[in-house]
Structure 1
């Protein structure tokens, strides 16, 4: 990761097109290092899951920023990030990773569930949240991920009682878990394996959410 970190350090101090073009070869070196990392990560992930993303390169997001609508007009991101998609309707959830100057982290879950899925999740939780709480309140989950993350409503969603005993869960619009890594982890030769292991820790949460999304309120399969 040294090439990548060195490039990002310099880019953060010179975030303009002139510097980037003059140092295009350094970007290419960092990009190739990230592709190699992503390929290793993908290989590790396919040992314990089935990933639809065909190559590590395909998982990476572009370093170029979309500056059309934001106040920040710097043209380049000062981090690398990527996303791995699981295969099949019976494997819900997605894997996101980010590598930057302040360390790295992984996130996974349900970032933008559509209205139909979100309502289905809420109906399932409203009917019986015990199995969901067993996962997110377990010692292993709390130790590794801490709290459940994601945007929330300020009150109960429309159609649900404000005093529902599980209103704290019903208010979620996203269902995300997150785990961070130190800078020292990024320089480790087995960092792809460590990151894959962190993604594997998400599986009980993914399995629970898959069960929610693929069965009706009577527990009958929808797929």
Structure 2
């Protein structure tokens, strides 16, 4: 997939934007931004098409560069990164892929960022009942090599209705179930960057399959989909 590469100019533009985050500068350089954005979207689109061989994807969503500053103390008008998500198709397919390009802080992330209360409760009940399959999957050596450890916000104690002494309380108190993989600037502009992204996303599929199965069945294994 060497034809899909991020050029150094992309990172340079984003770095310069961060130092000149105002409308006057951006308006003057908007043509350049559109050029760099188009190049990044081409890379994202290439990964999207390749990933469709391994997963049923609905669409690629590129996030706008403009920040919503209405409720933020930070009033800078633009993001200093370019990001997008690869959205899975259908009610059976849970989990999401995210890609984030920023000088010095590029990463991909997968999993469950903001599960609704019903989904979160269902995941917790599954882990309360039996977390062995979950633990075995995320501790598998190749999985660990690519994705590392489970991340995400968590409660300081047990959720309401759960035993704080439960042997799997470290998992049960999680509010998010995500994995991230970081990349250096040199990796981002390398010829095999898109291949690394694709291989990482393919490697997460067993995790998505397990979580999708949990979230579409009850504790007896009966389907919740009609």
1:153-184 alpha-carbon deviations (Å, 9 max, x no partner)? 00000011111111111100110011112222
Structure 1 residue 50: Cα displacement:
1.2
Unaligned runs of 5+ in 2: 1-6
Structure 2 partner of 1:70: 72
Tell whether 2:76 aligns with 1:95.
Answer: no
**Higher relative contact order by CA 8 Å / sep ≥ 6: 1 or 2?**
2
When structure 1 is superposed on structure 2, of 149-158 and 173-182 the one drifting more is 173-182
When structure 1 is superposed on structure 2, of 134-143 and 165-174 the one drifting more is 134-143
Structure 1 residue 29: Cα displacement:
0.8
Structure 2 partner of 1:24: 30
RMSD of aligned alpha carbons = 1.3
For residues 76 and 10 of structure 1, the distance between their equivalents in structure 2, rounded to whole angstroms, comes to: 12
Structure 1 residue 6: Cα displacement:
2.0
For residues 116 and 145 of structure 1, the distance between their equivalents in structure 2, rounded to whole angstroms, comes to: 27
Structure 2 partner of 1:191: 193
1:59-108 alpha-carbon deviations (Å, 9 max, x no partner)? 11001111122221111111111111111222210001101101421101
Structure 1 residue 3: Cα displacement:
2.8
For residues 76 and 221 of structure 1, the distance between their equivalents in structure 2, rounded to whole angstroms, comes to: 44
Kept in 2: contact 1:177–1:202 (CA 8 A): no
What TM-score comes out, normalization by structure 2 length? 0.92
SS of the residue corresponding to residue 52 of structure 1 reads strand
Tell whether 2:19 aligns with 1:13.
Answer: yes
1:20-70 alpha-carbon deviations (Å, 9 max, x no partner)? 0011111111111112111111111112111111xx4xx110011111222
When structure 1 is superposed on structure 2, of 11-20 and 210-219 the one drifting more is 210-219
1:183-219 alpha-carbon deviations (Å, 9 max, x no partner)? 2222123422221111111111111111211221112
Matches within 5 A, 1:1-223: 1-53=7-59, 56=60, 59-223=61-225
For residues 201 and 181 of structure 1, the distance between their equivalents in structure 2, rounded to whole angstroms, comes to: 17
What TM-score comes out, normalization by structure 1 length? 0.93
